Structure 1
Amino acid sequence: MSFLSPTLRLENLSTQPIMSLDHVPEAQRYNKQHIVAQWCAPINGKMYRIELEHGTTSGRRMIWVNGREVLRRDWMFKLVGEDTFLIESSRCIIRVDPAPGFKYEYSLYIDGKPHAQYTEELTRQYRLWLITSETGQEYRIMLKLDTLSLYVNDELREEAVNPKKQLTGNGIFCNNPLSAPFWQAVFVQGGTDTHFVLDQIQFVLQARSSGNKHDGIVHTLLADGSLVPEAKIQEIMQEPVSILQTN
């Protein structure tokens, strides 16, 4: 006589333990409370938040990039080691090493460089500004110094080249200065002003000579005439995930 209910007979039970999370939707698998390490880094002009989930009992390791799963190992007998994954064309490695007191150390390498070194080198190649409009829209504006490429929320913005556009009184080449999705550089005394409009905010990216070889060109950003403080890439770690989210 079986003490099991008719639907739970032994022959109906799985012979293999269920260790996979495939049956759980990705949105439910992502849980900030399970994250043990996180990093932030610019790659090809886009900002990425890299997060690691490490189950110290099961050995499960999950890697998330901007809130999306890129690698998952549901069951691992070895709790330490490394996992490799790609972000665009950059090769990334997360290492899990033992630490004193039955703890673990987590390290990220990007293109063969430790995260701290990679980020420090990239910081010198970019300028970054963060601003939120009155409608609540977050904007992350990044300038790549070697190519002067302008990125807005990870999207490369091209310079407007259209002879039919007319120069407005404030130096902006556009038909509708409140909704134009492009930018235009204008030469001024001592440098250049790059004008663009986002969410009815008039932006001016100024480039001026610092007067010495060490500092080179100084870039400042104005929003409706007010100075936008420059942000550091490391400060993005404190920002909401939404500002790093990509579709």
Structure 2
Amino acid sequence: MVKLRLDLYNAMTIDLVAVWDVPLQDGIHAVEFEHGTLTGKRVIRVDGKEILRKDWMFKLVGDETFIVNKILCVIKIEPQGLFNYSYSLIVDGQPLRSFTESQSKICCTWLVTLPPDGMYRIVLQKDTLDVWANGQQLEVT
């Protein structure tokens, strides 16, 4: 009986419903969203670090707003029938797909392997001419 209760508790605490990869100048950020459909619990993690937690909410739908590297992001929770929900990520006012497409137009990205240090991700932001290497903005001339 105790084992069944623990298994049920573990099943209820794992409410991961969406994972998105958000490409920004300083790298690709993983956004994870947990949504408890019984409790209304909402947890947002960026790159494995918890940035928002709401344990009990009576309203199961709505928006959650957060910031990733100075960029405003919104997770939209919308009903899709009885106890079914859709989740979408809005980044800088655009759906993730549109944001990713616009980023690919304004940024050039290279993956460079240099021994012995390994792999570097170099990003040139065309509109500002900022250069990033492995998430660190470089001072360039």
TM range (shorter): 0.7 to 0.9
User: What secondary structure does 1:124 align onto?
Assistant: helix
> Does residue 70 of structure 2 align to residue 69 of structure 1?
no
1:102 corresponds to which of 61, 83, 86: 83
Question: What corresponds to 1:55 in structure 2?
Answer: 36
For structure 2, the 5+ residue unaligned runs are 1-12
Residues 110-149 of structure 1: pairs in structure 2 closer than 5 A: 110-131=91-112, 137-149=118-130
Give the TM-score normalised by the residue count of structure 1.
0.46
RMSD: 2.5
C-alpha distance in structure 2 between counterparts of 1:46 and 1:142, whole Å: 8
| Partners of 2:41 and 2:54 within 8 A in 1 | yes
Amino acid at match of 2:33: L
Question: What corresponds to 2:69 in structure 1?
Answer: 88
Q: Summarize the Cα distance change of 1:53–1:143 in structure 2 as closer, same or farther, 3 Å threshold.
A: same
Higher-Rg structure is 1
* Percent sequence identity over aligned pairs: 41
| Partners of 2:73 and 2:90 within 8 A in 1 | yes
State the 4+ residue runs in structure 1 displaced beyond 6 angstroms. none
Following superposition, the deviation at residue 96 of structure 1 comes to 0.7
For structure 1, the 5+ residue unaligned runs are 1-30, 161-247
Which protein has the bigger strand share? Answer: 2
Equivalent pairs counted in the alignment come to: 128
C-alpha distance in structure 2 between counterparts of 1:74 and 1:36, whole Å: 16
Larger RCO: Structure 1 or Structure 2 (Cα < 8 Å, ≥ 6 residues apart)?
A: 2
C-alpha distance in structure 2 between counterparts of 1:70 and 1:62, whole Å: 8
Following superposition, the deviation at residue 111 of structure 1 comes to 2.4
Residues 17-56 of structure 1: pairs in structure 2 closer than 5 A: 34-43=15-24, 45-47=25-27, 48-56=29-37
